Every structure is written in structure tokens, then in C-alpha cells.
Structure 1
């Protein structure tokens, strides 16, 4: 039965090869079917590994690593910026964040002449404001862009300090060595904003005491207003500005009652950590990974293998689990094309950043070439509709 369904879906979604554009640009990564990867690279504080596997017709996950000068001025500060942006409803918001968030961060770092939580917060807000302006301009021609949004996970290492900022349910996990035993334990660094978490539901109910339907259990999944799982994001303007929650937006996104205050927030949760010599690496990943692996499983995979290819190894482990859950072989899952693949797993992005203590503590004035890498994938040419495409339900599922 399952094989017959797969054959039918595969025929519907069979790619038109001339429509593919491989977008590796200057990233130096490799494409293997729906998997893009860069097994090893150097950043200001050590080495890194990246991998992305596409499941949607259009890749909604975007990611980047920027290393070297974190300011518009060449005098620094220096360090490493990592971003994982898990889009939903389409790729527009995650792509916008990739193009603008780091540039805003550099501008605010220059103004304050240092890295800080305030700089990061301002960069997030400027990105949110910029995307709102884009939606406002495009609304008359492309109203559905109001229902496109993205989670946003950012890590910044500068001067021996690690800043983690998050909106949504992507996750950053630290691998920390225990000197006495030699074990490497997982420590979750990010706070998540998903209605499946009781504290998030309580936060929403406290912020909206007059709305008994602020969170709704729908098909056994908690959703904000019955629409979306995450409570914080960039974009999703239709749940932040009432003037965009109306026709010609699709009826399934429109609320019956007008709202007076934003339902979703763009305020990131930010934590600050002083890095220690026992801190080995950080795994940044979209929730597509964490649906299949827990924190310690992911840390063990990185710790027990060579550094090179760490991100690709994590993606493969997640795909093997996804295949096992559907009682199929990993080799068969790999044959399923984008679009259809979304029935088996989400887009998955993983960036593993290794921390070399001699580099983490290096002087902020140290010379280091600026590095810029963006996660790749397969995209259709501009203005080309994906074959057999259907509207994506808003929210990370």
C-alpha cells in the first residue's frame, strides 16, 4: 500500500530537470540530490561543518555562517555569526533574513563599537521592520506574502562570549566535556517558542487574557489561534497587523474576529555564555533535526566521529530515523523527490561550530579573512511555479 502511494506521488512530482538551478554561489558546498553539504571549513574560532536536506518544493530553510569582522568598521570586533532560518508558508521571509539580518548586526555593532544583547535585539527588530515594509509594498500584487514567516536562530561568538538569540523552535545545543569522565554532555542553549510547550501556552494566555481561543488543540497539535505552532517569528504579518488579516488573503488564514494587539511576537529570547575550555562544539539546527534526534544523541554523533562531515552525519541520522518511523529503508527515502519528501520529513539544516580554545580567546584585533557561506539547495528559476505544488499550511509541523 505504501509503495503504491509513493509511486503515484513520485509520478506527480517528477522533476523537470531543465527547471533546476543549483545555488551554491561562492559557498564551496556540494550538491548530492536533495542534500547540500560543506563538510569542513575554518571560522574565526575554529572549524565548522554544514548540511541542508530539502523536503519542500521550494527550500524554506536558509542558513549562513559569517566569520571575521562583525562590524561595518575594519577595526572589529571580530568573531563568528551563525544563522539558521526555518521558514514556513514559503521561502520569502527566510531568504529576506539571510540577506539583511547580519548586515543590520554589523551596522549596530559599529554604532555601539561592541557586541551586545542590545545590538542583537536591534538587528532582529530592524529585520522585522524591513520585512513588514516589504509585505506592505507587495500586498496589492502578492497578498499571500502576509502569511509567510520564519523562525530565526542566531549564534554570535565574540571575545570569548557566546550570544544565542532565538525566535521559534530551532535549537542550539552545546557539547561540553566532563574532565573527570571524558564524557561530552549536551546543554541546550536556546529557548523555544512552540505552543506544544506548556510554558509557551501560559505565556500566550497571560498576554491575551480576553481571548479564550488564543491556543487551540487542533488534530492533537497545539496551535496559536488554531493556525500556527510557533508563538514568535519574523514575518507572519497576518497575525501581527490586523490590516493584513482580510481579503484577498486566503480564507484559511483569516480570523473571524479582529485583533487589537499582535498575536505573535518578534522579540527574541537571548542568552549569554562565557565560553570555557571544556566547551567543544555547538550544534545549530532547524526543528527538522530535533524531530528525530534528541540533544544527547546529536552530541554523541558529533563527538564519536571525525569533525569533517559532522553536519552531514547528523542529517543522515535524522533521515534514517524518519525512514524507520515509516517502516521503509533509508535508501528508498533518498529516492523520493522534493515536495513528496515533505510527507516524510521537513527541510533540515544543521551547522556544527567547533570551538578551539586557543582561537576562542584570540585577541579581537587578530587578522582573519572574512568568511561568508550560505547553505545551498535546489531552487526553481524565478517566476517558475513548482510542479504539482499545493499551498503550504502556515506553521512548523
Structure 2
């Protein structure tokens, strides 16, 4: 069961949740029109998603090249659903957020103030669409999101939750270092925690996982969210959970080699430098996402042999396809 998009359509205001047994979690639009499902790769970019051991895969991801019909623009993102209907929410956001961003007419990323405002507005619109879904309760279901919009040498990064974006950057010694572009927006972040508590939400960890703080209702032991921003989750929207993304910008240089966006199933078992090492050591970036996800799955078995493995999804975007793809890696 899921939600699929077939291709770009001018009639993109018609949104709905459909049942499709053959829906894929990842989609790569290689020329602004044609989607490729499965383990996808094209022109130095790749996506891969592996279902965990908790049930249906709730992750989703997309790379959309020639976004909005512009040759120098690429939209990419990963979305990590949670709750009963999380797999539907993540795919809905995957399919339609890029459309609503176009509605906000983000044309020039150099104008940071207007681009940030337009991005936040698009996120709010999507959250309201989810709130008014018919026949689907999203009071305790939702999704995180990390999206990157590239226009030439400029990146806009919008982060909602605890997925993560990282750059692989070549240093002066010709080695790759990992530079994190987003903050994991969790209850352990002081400003996030304060907002939750100001709205009478509770932040507590479970006894069997004291290292993971979670968000709870004032008087009920639900929902136990491990992130502080998300689409959906309307039962706790009055208690500090928000759908306003943290938006930042980055100007690319010749040192920036590749972009990695992955869900927390990857980052929970691999650190930034380990991830950059795996990506940099692949023969081509079109195989990098699969190699990274396979490494994360193996690491779950080593680090948490008795735990349910989370879904693992990764997206790799090569920023300079003409540069060497095999390099050494060091800590940043």
C-alpha cells in the first residue's frame, strides 16, 4: 500500500492518497520527466532504500533533475515516516512538496530571504494538506524531511526532523572530509527542548533506551517522538512539535564533491566520516547509495543484534562528475 507519482504534470494541484501495491519508496527523475523506481542511479546520482525489520518501509526519497524545467536546478530529498500511516505521509510529501515549492516561485537562491520565506510557506501548505486528508488519521502519524534545492553553485537546505544532509569536501591534502549541513532536530537540542516544555510537552527517555529522549503529551504516554519537527503528528502540534523547517544556504566550491542525504536508520549506526569514506571509496557515485545502505544494514547487525533494524535510505548527488570519485577520507 502506498502512493506513487508517474511523472511531472501541469495538473499538480490534484493530490490524493491512492492504494498501489507496487509503489516504490524511491524515485529518480533523470531528465525532469521520466521516473525510475527501485535502486536508482543516473549521471553520478543514486538512491537506495532498504526495509527494516519493523514492518513496511516508511522511508521515501527523490532526485528530480531539470527541476521546474530549468537545466541547472535539481531537487532532492529524503523523508522518514512514522506512526500507523507514516509510509503514506512520507510518500505524499515526497511527491508533492516539490510542486508546492514551485508554486512559491523560488527562482533565484541568491535571494536568501525570499527563498527561505517561500520554502517555509511551502512546508506549511503541505502540513495543512496532510491535516485535511480524508479517511486517514495523521494525529499520530507523520514524517521528517530533509530537502536540498540546487541551482547552479547554490544550495538551499531545509530540514525538518532527524534525517541528515552531509557534504563530502576535498581538503588541501586531497582527502575527503565530512561537513554536516543540517542539525538533528531532536529533544536533546536545547532550543528544541525548551520549545517543547514551554508548550507543556514532556521530554523523557524510556528505561530501556536512556540515551534517546522522546516527546510525550502532558498527561499521556504518547506518542514518544524522537524528533521535534515533522509533518503530521497533529496531536502534539499544540505541544511544541512544529512543521517549520530549519533553512540554510551553502555556496558550492570546487572542493565540494558530493552530497549525502540519509534517514536516521543510516546515521544511527554510521557517523559522518564513516559515511563519507564509504561514498568516496565507491568506483562510481551511481553505486554509492546502494553501498552505503548495505553498509548500514550490516552495521545494524553488529551494533544492535537484538534490536529491530530501522529502514535505511540514502541519496547521493555527485556535485562534480568530472572529478575523480576515488579519494582518501579523513576526519573533519
1:223 maps onto 2:214 in alignment: yes
* Equivalent residue number for residue 67 of structure 2: 69
CA distance in 2, matches of 1:355, 1:189: 15
With normalisation by structure 2, the TM-score equals 0.77
With normalisation by structure 1, the TM-score equals 0.65
Match of 1:102 among 94, 98, 103: 98
- In structure 2, do the counterparts of structure 1 residues 152 and 327 end up closer, same or farther at CA, with 3 Å as the change threshold? closer
- Do the aligned partners of 1:166 and 1:269 also contact (CA within 8 Å) in 2? yes
Kindly provide the CA deviation profile for residues 11-67 of structure 1, in whole angstroms up to 9, marking residues without a partner as x. xxxxxxxx96364886434xxxxxx412x302xxxx201110012432210111111
Deviation at residue 188 of structure 1 after TM alignment: 0.4
Deviation at residue 78 of structure 1 after TM alignment: 3.9
- Do the aligned partners of 1:92 and 1:148 also contact (CA within 8 Å) in 2? no
1:286 maps onto 2:284 in alignment: no
Alpha carbon RMSD of aligned pairs, Å? 2.5
Name the structure with the higher helix share. Answer: 1
Higher relative contact order (CA 8 A, sep 6+): 1
- In structure 2, do the counterparts of structure 1 residues 271 and 300 end up closer, same or farther at CA, with 3 Å as the change threshold? same
CA distance in 1, matches of 2:247, 2:91: 22
- Do the aligned partners of 2:297 and 2:312 also contact (CA within 8 Å) in 1? no
Match of 2:299 among 318, 321, 335: 321
* Equivalent residue number for residue 202 of structure 2: 214
Match of 2:150 among 149, 157, 162: 157
CA distance in 2, matches of 1:95, 1:69: 18
* Equivalent residue number for residue 92 of structure 1: 88
Name structure 1 gaps, 5 residues minimum: 1-18, 30-35, 241-260, 329-342, 360-397
Name structure 2 gaps, 5 residues minimum: 1-19, 28-33, 110-114, 324-332
Instruction: For 1:1-397, list aligned pairs within 5 A.
Output: 21=22, 23=24, 27-29=35-37, 36-38=38-40, 40-42=41-43, 47-55=44-52, 56-70=54-68, 74=69, 76=70, 78-89=72-83, 90=85, 91-109=87-105, 113-115=107-109, 116-134=115-133, 137-138=134-135, 142=136, 144-179=137-172, 181-205=173-197, 207-208=198-199, 211=200, 214-219=202-207, 220=210, 221-225=212-216, 226=221, 227-240=224-237, 261-307=238-284, 308-326=286-304, 343-356=307-320
* Equivalent residue number for residue 15 of structure 1: none
Kindly provide the CA deviation profile for residues 288-342 of structure 1, in whole angstroms up to 9, marking residues without a partner as x. 00011000010011112212310111111111111112559xxxxxxxxxxxxxx
**Higher Cα radius of gyration:** 1
CA distance in 1, matches of 2:100, 2:23: 28
Equivalences, count: 279
